[in-house]
Structure 1
């Protein structure tokens, strides 16, 4: 594959509605885009720790949305900012 043929992605920060169980496990339920589009997360298939592109600690959730597998990332905030827990993003292909 030619270096110029590689797919480029960018982070798009989104709002995510989540539930927390009694053990503190975070379960994402809906993804809400900046323009208001809302997508139900039908299933969480996998969860794993994953550092972000910016090398911040985070998590990757493999989720099902409209019958398709997608990756949803939770980027933990810099520990110096205790009032911010983190934020969600998806990676979107750019041309």
Structure 2
């Protein structure tokens, strides 16, 4: 497994809640996040690093999207 850094479109609520909406893959295609299954502080054991892990459904597939020190990455 490795980290792939991506651009993310996210929403910060007035209460400070961070919610990713979509991300841009390395080929330039934007993928909408269908549903966030879980949000928690966690380590990316497979790719290294840690931060807020968002378990997301994207086109029926589960992906782990991490927010770590101001950067977003996917664990692939």
So what's the TM-score if we normalise by structure 2?
0.86
- Which is higher, the Rg of structure 1 or of structure 2? 1
Q: Name which of 57, 69, 75 aligns with 1:64.
A: 57
**Greater than 3 Å deviation, 4+ residue runs:** none
Gaps of 5+ in 2: none
Q: After superposition, give the CA deviation of every residue in 1:67-91 in whole Å (9 maximum; x if it has no partner).
A: 1111101111xxxxxxxxx100011
Unaligned runs of 5+ in 1: 1-8, 77-85
Q: How many residues align?
A: 73
Provide Cα deviations, 1:42-83, integer angstroms capped at 9, x if missing partner.
Answer: 1111001024524xx51100111001111101111xxxxxxx
Instruction: Write 1 or 2 for the structure with the bigger share of strand.
Output: 2
Deviation at 1:38, TM superposition (A): 0.9
TM-score between the two structures when normalised by the length of structure 1: 0.70
